[in-house]
Amino acid sequence: MRQGARLADEKRSRRRVTSVDVAREAGLSRATVSFVLNDTPGQSIPEATRQRVLQAAERLGYTPYAPARTLRSGRSDVAVFVLPDWPQGPTMTEFVDRAAQVLSRAGLTLVTHVHTGDEQRLARLWTTLTPAAVFGMRPFTSVELAGMRKAGISAILPAAEESGHDVSTTLWAKGVGRLQAEHLIRKGHTRLAYVLSDEPRLAALGQGRAEGAVEACAAVGLAPPIVSTIALDATSAAEATESWRDGASACEAAPTAVCAYNDEVALAILAGMRMLGLSAPADLAVIGADDIPGARFAAPPLTTVAQNSGELGARIAKALLEALEGGSPDLDLLPGDIHVVERVSA
């Protein structure tokens, strides 16, 4: 008897609180409860009734059950950021956080998923989460897009149509490279190098950044930068810098300044230069990208391109919301999204 009662109690307490419970508590029908809680338009509900419902819900601690709501409405309140598997800088946290903040205000919950190239895992993401909105750092492939459409995802950025047009990652990438080159040019350098990392996962992004530098050079009539790829160690970096000198005597001038794909590559270059007895910016100016915390502790302190991740995150989030409303927002990089942090190395 006692145990029976406890079991019944257990059962009741374990069961989730549903709108039926709220309706019973308020002495109304479930429909009315739903109308009140969702502010359903086209319903006339007196303030007294409204309060009765709200207080009953509050009293019972009611929270609508998302899967049921999604099943019924076909829309979930989940947004997903698909992050590339390349090492996340500290800047990513801020980016995601601000985006989450904006989306949260619209009732969306943001989660992130690191994509490692396993297409199967990515495909399951759409079906198990059924997100309302998805943002990816790189353009999606047509297969991925097909899967998402099939899963009923309406807001996807970057959008399919733009895949020819440079967007998202590629766009920012270009912007970063352009800014790096422009800074060096402004400093009087006329012959540049661009150094990429040999990490294969970074190839695409590196290509984008390098292209930005190429454009910046072209814009002022300079020859395109020499592009080198190095491993992330001092020796490899030293070899690259020496190769420029050697190649120079033959046909054209050696670069006097170098854009690094990111700050880590830049640090490697500085380390390589130290091996060779060279110093920045006198012998070779070096500019990095991303402004990692260690950049300011380098010898010499590293000049770099920083991005205003928070702003970018917020803008992406707003664009997603606009896409949810049926719009087709553009993700163009605005001036002020990225800027040069001038220290010593360039």
Partner DNA sequence: CTTAGCTACTATCACGTGTAAGCTGTCAAT
Partner DNA sequence: ATTGACAGCTTACACGTGATAGTAGCTAAG
Contact residues for a copy of itself (CB under 8 A)?
16, 61, 63-68, 70-71, 76-78, 80, 85-90, 92-93, 96-97, 100-101, 104, 109-114, 116, 118, 121, 124-125, 127-130, 150-152, 232-234, 263-264, 267-268, 270-271, 274, 292-294, 296-299
> Which partner, a copy of itself, DNA, none, binds residue 32 by CB below 5 to 8 Å per kind?
DNA
68 binds DNA (CB under 7 A): yes
Do 37 and 49 form a contact (C-beta atoms < 8 A)? no
Give residues with Cβ within 8 angstroms of 124, minimum separation 6.
Answer: none
> Which partner, a copy of itself, DNA, none, binds residue 275 by CB below 5 to 8 Å per kind?
none
16 binds DNA (CB under 7 A): yes
SS (H, E, C) 308-341: CHHHHHHHHHHHHHHHHCCCCCCCCCCCCCEEEE
Of the ranges 34-42, 88-96, 251-259, 283-291, which one interacts with DNA (CB under 7 A)? 34-42
Give dist(CA 195, CA 169) in Å, integer: 19
Bridge partners for 134 per DSSP: 80, 156
Give dist(CA 19, CA 127) in Å, integer: 27
Within 69-108, the residues that bind DNA by CB under 7 A are 69, 71-73
Do 195 and 261 form a contact (C-beta atoms < 8 A)? yes
Do 329 and 295 form a contact (C-beta atoms < 8 A)? no
Do 267 and 261 form a contact (C-beta atoms < 8 A)? no
Within 105-124, the residues that bind DNA by CB under 7 A are none
46 binds DNA (CB under 7 A): yes
Size of the site for DNA (CB under 7 A): 28
Q: Which is nearer to DNA, 38 or 116 (CB)?
A: 38
Residue indicated by tokens 């009539």: 221
Give residues with Cβ within 8 angstroms of 185, minimum separation 6.
Answer: 192, 216, 217, 220, 222
Q: Which is nearer to a copy of itself, 55 or 235 (CB)?
A: 235
Q: Which is nearer to DNA, 3 or 44 (CB)?
A: 44
> Which partner, a copy of itself, DNA, none, binds residue 3 by CB below 5 to 8 Å per kind?
none
CA dihedral 90, 289, 194, 140 (to 10 degrees): 60
> Which partner, a copy of itself, DNA, none, binds residue 43 by CB below 5 to 8 Å per kind?
DNA
11 binds DNA (CB under 7 A): no
49 binds DNA (CB under 7 A): yes
Q: How far is the CB of 35 from DNA (least distance, A)?
A: 6
Q: How many residues does the chain have?
A: 346
Q: Binding residues for DNA, per CB under 7 A?
A: 15-16, 18-20, 28-32, 34-35, 37-38, 40, 43-46, 49, 62, 64-65, 68-69, 71-73
